[in-house]
Chain A
Amino acid sequence: MIRRSLISLLVAAPLTGVYGQLTGNNLFEYQMGNLPYSDPRDLSAHYDQLNLAYRYKGLRATLRYEHFLSQNEGSSYANLSQFQVQYRKDKLELKVGNFNETLGNGLLVRGYDIAGSVFEEESYRSRYGFYRDMLGFSAKYSGDIWYFQAMRGKSLVNTLPPTLSMDERRIDLVEGMETGVSLFYQTVGLILMRNSNPFEKDNFYSLLFSGSIPGFVSYNFEYAHNLKNGVPTFAMSESSRYGMYGSLSYSLGSFGLSFEYKNYHDLLIGTGISDPPTTVREHKYKVLNRSTHVPQLTDESGIQLEGYYTFSNSEHLVVNYTYSLNEFFEDYRFSEVFVEYSFYPGNKSNLTFFADYASDEFKSEDTRYAAGSVWEYTIIGSWSTQLHLEYQYIEREFAEKELLHNGVVIVGFTKSPGLTVSMVWEMSTDPFLTDHPDTPDIESDTRHWPGIEASYRINPTNTISLFAGKRRGGPACTSGICYEVLDFEGVEIRLKTKF
């Protein structure tokens, strides 16, 4: 009913003389190919996501339409997957429909929408936009001194595909409010939240403290705890559910430093509506991004320290140290040291080096080294070339010690502003990846993923991209959210349109 009304509003409003602004974008993706070792090798599928927004003064209506067509029986769908009506007047904002909201630092609840990402899960084989939203309503008042936010909605389990019903995909009912007072750059806040699903009903509160000495130091602290009869409200015991996160940021001239602390215990709420800060560096390099440490919310504590220094000629240095501890039936430690240095040799080059050392007991990877470089060179005018090299060495010990190697080479050519062509080659000696699942033997030959990527901006609002070859999957983190990306072998075409 609400959806139909919204579509009518979107279509009818401009035609009735109520002139506002209509904007939108569309992502079309066609794939011919499949997962490795899967038949048919030339599986044909296409996905489309259309986002539309109509705004007239303070009123805004949006919708998202997604469809997926595949030869795989049962994975195709066509859905109006999101709709929202928003009203904004001065400091007040009201939303009905689908929305992404975060309370505090996300210790209790966080919604997100990773723009442009398409997710696929191996067992369902449907492709769909990767977001975790809520369906309900929210209200926000952003006063200069006092702020207030309230929400009620059913949260999406985004690992379940749109081929399932809404009841199956939206299990958690989240009701929450956040309020706070800000004075002299210091803020004190309180969150109350209830999460209900057929299996559990939990109440939580959270205290927030944040502030800054403008220009120099900023801090942010949150303590969340469940509210339950018989459990002390401030206890950090084995039987209680709690989360503590704190950060301190410092800047002076060209030097910057951030320090973060975390302590999470039994903080996996409902089907996973919470997403507290990981305090683990989000890497942009493939070998490091894939090896990232994913926090275990059953029990995890740790710190992260990151420093920046920019030299007078824009040379930039980043140093990071991370330590995490999981206390299960035995302790598992993760530690990482990362250094990155970017500089400009000559007036046509940009060179970045990185080096990384990590130890991850949870993955039985006691020693992990990685290093690499990215070199960009302007050939002439708007033509440039890129050379991207990454290498990783891992010592993993389960029953016996294994020495593993991962590598990435990317050679690219670019013509500003719109054309990029890259040849990508990845390799691995990891037995989890080199083994052919359909044979009784354990193959150990080096596995390769060669591919070609090309992107052409037809005009400022249309971009077409092509991938052909083999693409390596694995864990990946984008915009702070980590998820599993599947391998792909074949051809993929993407068309992005903005209007």
Chain B
Amino acid sequence: MIIRTGAMILLFSYMAVLSGQEPVFRLRDLDDQWKEYADLKGDQLTVIDFWATWCQPCVRSIPLLNQMSVELKSKGVNFFGVSIDGPRNQAKVKPFIQSMGVTYPIIRDIDSELMKELSVSAVPTLVVYDAEGEQVYFHEGFRPGDEELIRNHIEELLDE
């Protein structure tokens, strides 16, 4: 059984060097309007932040990401947030995020569709796509000091 699982992981790891594709989704935003990736992506980079109202590290990271999104907007970097809150916390998403002054768009991933598509298994998780739709950065969790790391990485990607 272990050998079979190992063989499958190796096989699929080998095959995973295939070309990347940008995420495909059609999800509602906070005003119940449908949004697709094309509506939200940036000219240079697209930064996707997965978060939830009940996640403490998310609460700490969101103001810093919001500040970063404002500063990098002119460089062709678009941020958008993905709330993974289920029906239980849906009523809280909009007042929570708006009270924090977040200016980037938020979409709702109630059935974890986008979360699964991007293999996200924890919040907060930050995923960055380039203009060609290639996933170029994946960052799970948020600890003090991560904001500098994320910003430096995005700046490096812009310089490439």
Are A417 and B119 in contact (CB-based, < 8 A)? no
Number of B interface residues, CB 8 Å? 67
Given contacts A115-B121, A260-B91, contact A23 B16 (CB under 8 A): yes
Closest residue on chain A to residue B149 by CB atoms: A417
Q: In the complex, which residues 68-119 of chain B have their Cβ closer than 8 Å to any Cβ of chain A?
A: 84-92, 94-96, 98-101, 110-112, 115-119
Chain A interface: which size bin?
Answer: 35 or more
Task: State whether the Cβ of A52 lies closer than 8 Å to any Cβ in chain B.
Answer: yes
Are B112 and A21 in contact (CB-based, < 8 A)? no
Give the complex CA separation of A374 and B90 in angstroms. 26
Task: State whether the Cβ of B131 lies closer than 8 Å to any Cβ in chain A.
Answer: no
Are A116 and B99 in contact (CB-based, < 8 A)? no
Q: In the complex, which residues 1-48 of chain B have their Cβ closer than 8 Å to any Cβ of chain A?
A: 1-2, 5, 8-9, 11-13, 15-16, 18-21, 24, 26, 30-34
Could you tell me the dominant secondary structure of chain A's interface residues?
strand
**Residues in chain B near residue A260, CB distance under 8 A:** 91
Task: State whether the Cβ of A310 lies closer than 8 Å to any Cβ in chain B.
Answer: yes
Which of B21, B98, B117, B148 lies at the interface centre, i.e. has the most chain A CB atoms within 10 A of its CB?
A: B98
Given contacts A247-B91, A258-B95, A417-B139, contact A67 B101 (CB under 8 A): no
Are B90 and A220 in contact (CB-based, < 8 A)? yes
**Residues in chain A near residue B92, CB distance under 8 A:** 249, 258, 306
Are B54 and A282 in contact (CB-based, < 8 A)? yes
Are A384 and B144 in contact (CB-based, < 8 A)? yes
**Residues in chain A near residue B99, CB distance under 8 A:** 251, 254-256, 308-310, 316
Are B19 and A480 in contact (CB-based, < 8 A)? no
Are B1 and A185 in contact (CB-based, < 8 A)? no
Given contacts A21-B19, A52-B12, A247-B91, contact A115 B100 (CB under 8 A): no
Give the complex CA separation of A384 and B118 in angstroms. 29
Closest residue on chain B to residue A88 by CB atoms: B24
**Residues in chain B near residue A457, CB distance under 8 A:** 140
Task: State whether the Cβ of B132 lies closer than 8 Å to any Cβ in chain A.
Answer: no
Are B90 and A48 in contact (CB-based, < 8 A)? no
Are A256 and B94 in contact (CB-based, < 8 A)? yes
**Residues in chain A near residue B12, CB distance under 8 A:** 22, 24, 52, 499
Are A378 and B144 in contact (CB-based, < 8 A)? yes
**Residues in chain A near residue B149, CB distance under 8 A:** 382, 416-417
Q: Which of A208-216, A389-397, A432-440 contacts B (4 or more CB under 8 A)?
A: A208-216
Q: In the complex, which residues 120-153 of chain A have their Cβ closer than 8 Å to any Cβ of chain B?
A: 142, 144
Are B144 and A416 in contact (CB-based, < 8 A)? yes
Give the complex CA separation of A111 and B98 in angstroms. 28
Closest residue on chain B to residue A285 by CB atoms: B56
Closest residue on chain A to residue B55 by CB atoms: A284
**Residues in chain B near residue A307, CB distance under 8 A:** 95
Q: In the complex, which residues 138-159 of chain B have their Cβ closer than 8 Å to any Cβ of chain A?
A: 138-141, 143-146, 148-149
Task: State whether the Cβ of A40 lies closer than 8 Å to any Cβ in chain B.
Answer: no
A residues contacting B by CB (< 8 A) are 11, 14-15, 19-27, 48, 50-53, 55, 58, 60, 62, 65, 67, 69, 78, 88, 91, 93, 100-102, 105-106, 110-113, 115-116, 142, 144, 182, 185, 187, 210-212, 214-215, 218, 220, 247-251, 254-260, 275-278, 282-284, 306-310, 314, 316, 342, 350, 352, 374, 376, 378, 381-384, 414, 416-417, 420, 457, 460-461, 463, 479-481, 496-499
Are B95 and A251 in contact (CB-based, < 8 A)? yes
Closest 7 CB pairs of A and B: A256-B95, A416-B145, A480-B88, A256-B99, A247-B91, A480-B86, A251-B98
Are A21 and B95 in contact (CB-based, < 8 A)? no
Give the complex CA separation of A256 and B9 in angstroms. 46
Given contacts A142-B26, A376-B144, A416-B146, contact A249 B91 (CB under 8 A): yes
Q: How near does chain A come to B21, taking the closest CB pair, in angstroms?
A: 5
**Residues in chain B near residue A106, CB distance under 8 A:** 86-87
Are A256 and B88 in contact (CB-based, < 8 A)? no
Q: How near does chain B come to A128, taking the closest CB pair, in angstroms?
A: 15
Q: How near does chain A come to B61, taking the closest CB pair, in angstroms?
A: 11
